[in-house]
Amino acid sequence: MKKAIHPNYYKNATVTCACGNVMTVGSTVETFQIELCSLCHPFYTGKQKIVDTARRVEKFQAKESKKSDKALTHKAKVEKKEVRAKKKAEKKAKASEA
């Protein structure tokens, strides 16, 4: 094997999770940070936790709430049109009777 081409191996490399858990492992990198570990990953904990670094979930929820608001306003408009149509039909019926 060639010498001086292999990376340094650290037996006590520290891994820090976003939840605060610190682990010691063997690695070629001395220290690094991760977003999920076995203590906070939903698969292992059974709890749903959304890790959202780019606000994508918030943006999606805002978009969905706008859609539901639009649906409600559309429904109100349709109901108003129906009421107007009924009134118009009643006026025609009264005019034809007279």
What tokens were used for 47?
A: 């709890």
pLDDT tens column, 54-64: 788 888 888 88
Distance CA 59, CA 29 (A): 35
Class level of CATH domain 1-48: few secondary structures
Which of 23, 25, 30, 24 is CA-nearest to residue 8?
30
For the chain, the domains span 1-48, 52-98
| Sign, CA torsion 79/81/86/91 | positive
At residue 28, the pLDDT reads 93
Segments of the chain scoring below 70 in pLDDT: 1, 49-53, 98
